[in-house]
Amino acid sequence: MENQKKIILTGDRPTGRLHIGHYVGSLKNRVLLQNKGDFDEMYVMIADAQALTDNYDNPGKIRENIIEVALDYLSVGLDPKKITIFVQSQVSALTELTFFYSNLVTLARLKRNPTVKSEITMRGFEESIPVGFLTYPISQTADITAFKANIIPVGIDQLPMIEQAREIVRSFNKIYNKEVLVEPEAVLPTTKEALRLPGIDGNQKMSKSLGNGIYLADDSKTVKEKVMSMYTDPDHIHVTDPGKVEGNTVFTYLDVFATKEDFTNFLREYENLDALKAAYKKGGVGDVLIKKFLYNVLERELTPIREKRKYYESHIDEVYKMLEEGSNKAKEKANKTLEEVKDAMRINYFKDIDLINKHINKYKNHED
């Protein structure tokens, strides 16, 4: 049964390079999923058309960042031999599906979407909301359903999009009386790794606009400078002062990244993170020590990624070719679904012999 196939789909908006927050929040998990191989098809989409819904006046930004995101994907180990990586705008069936699905959604429903609501405020769109922006959840439904994807690994902010998609799928299948579309399910990250990584300044969100991120493409020197400038405990002034671990960004990062082996390799004085935390709280552990340790830990994680990136940076033509081939593959699959959608909606006039015959008969008598 086709419906029981496991089809995974995720995507990112190409508005900038990916940082270690993206890495622990989703990329790492995607690579795990990919390598586990427990799926029939897996797609990773660069959502440039969606990115344009709030960057329509700056297409150059999107154009520059498609390759950056692709390089980041490849450098963390996403493998186009195992999965399909493609560019959203190159799959025109997605736009057609969006148009047909938009008949099934009310304006009121779109305006209720909590993620879209907060994005509208953030972007100052309250006064006049671009239609394309308000309706991007419909387009996201097209992204998902075109591939009959049923497993959507996303962050919690994407739950309203998946819910919207499920509603559209149900209403499509009901109205057109055919089980054409597949209801997707969101898969939320479960590990501690998925906790949102704060910025190096302690701000809740790591983001390009706040300039507080560590990027997968950052070189060793940059990572060192960033780690050394990280927010810790402002009251921890002298080494001997007792320090706070909660809200201390260095410890938040260590929680996510540090392994037992890291202590063996870089900080033998402490057996594990609990021991280090206890000592820091008691007093006597300096910020420089914990930062140097974190730097070593991050370097252990990022060095292989950086090296892989270097390889692909010197083979940009291959990367573009990979994206083109992935997009062609995605096109084939999406076109097939579009055909099924049109069949269900009975807008397949030219291949519907019955319809043509009926109209021939209808006008036959007129000739007599």
Whose CA is closest to 72, among 110, 134, 3, 26? 26
> Please, which residues bridge with residue 185 across strands?
151
User: Among the candidate windows 152-160, 292-300, 312-320, 350-358, which touches ligand TRP by CB under 6 A?
Assistant: 152-160
| Tokens 């195992």 found at | 82
Q: How many Å apart are CA 8 and CA 26, to the nearest integer? A: 13
| Tokens 């929680």 found at | 255
Closest to ligand TRP by CB, 13 vs 291, is: 13
Closest to ligand TRP by CB, 48 vs 262, is: 48
- Letters for 52-81 (x = contact with ligand TRP by CB under 6 A, - = none) are ------------------------------
- Which run of H or E residues covers position 32? helix 28-36
The answer to the question of residue 13 lying near ligand TRP (CB under 6 A) is: yes
The answer to the question of residue 10 lying near ligand TRP (CB under 6 A) is: yes
Distances (CA, A) of 297 to 127, 261, 284: 47, 10, 21
Q: What angle do CA 261, 265, 268 make, to 5 degrees?
A: 100
Which one of 8, 12, 46, 319 is in contact with ligand TRP (CB under 6 A)? 12
Task: State the minimum distance, in angstroms, from the CB of residue 40 to ligand TRP.
Answer: 17
Which one of 47, 87, 214, 294 is in contact with ligand TRP (CB under 6 A)? 47
Which one of 143, 218, 262, 301 is in contact with ligand TRP (CB under 6 A)? 143
Phi and psi torsions of 146, nearest 5°: -60, -30
Closest to ligand TRP by CB, 70 vs 245, is: 70
DSSP 165-179: HHHHHHHHHHHTTS-
User: Among the candidate windows 102-110, 136-144, 191-199, 255-263, which touches ligand TRP by CB under 6 A?
Assistant: 136-144
Task: State the minimum distance, in angstroms, from the CB of residue 51 to ligand TRP.
Answer: 8
Helix (H, G, I), strand (E, B) or coil at 11: strand
Which residues 6+ apart lie within 8 Å of 368 measured at CB? none
- Letters for 155-174 (x = contact with ligand TRP by CB under 6 A, - = none) are ---x----------------
Which one of 9, 62, 323, 338 is in contact with ligand TRP (CB under 6 A)? 9
User: Among the candidate windows 8-16, 126-134, 242-250, 325-333, which touches ligand TRP by CB under 6 A?
Assistant: 8-16
User: Among the candidate windows 45-53, 168-176, 188-196, 319-327, which touches ligand TRP by CB under 6 A?
Assistant: 45-53
Which one of 33, 46, 152, 338 is in contact with ligand TRP (CB under 6 A)? 152
Residue pair 244/288 in contact (Cβ under 8 Å)? The answer is no
Q: How many Å apart are CA 155 and CA 171, to the nearest integer? A: 25
The answer to the question of residue 144 lying near ligand TRP (CB under 6 A) is: yes
Q: How many Å apart are CA 30 and CA 136, to the nearest integer? A: 23
Q: Which residues lie near ligand TRP (CB under 6 A)?
A: 9-13, 45, 47, 50, 140, 143-144, 152, 154, 158
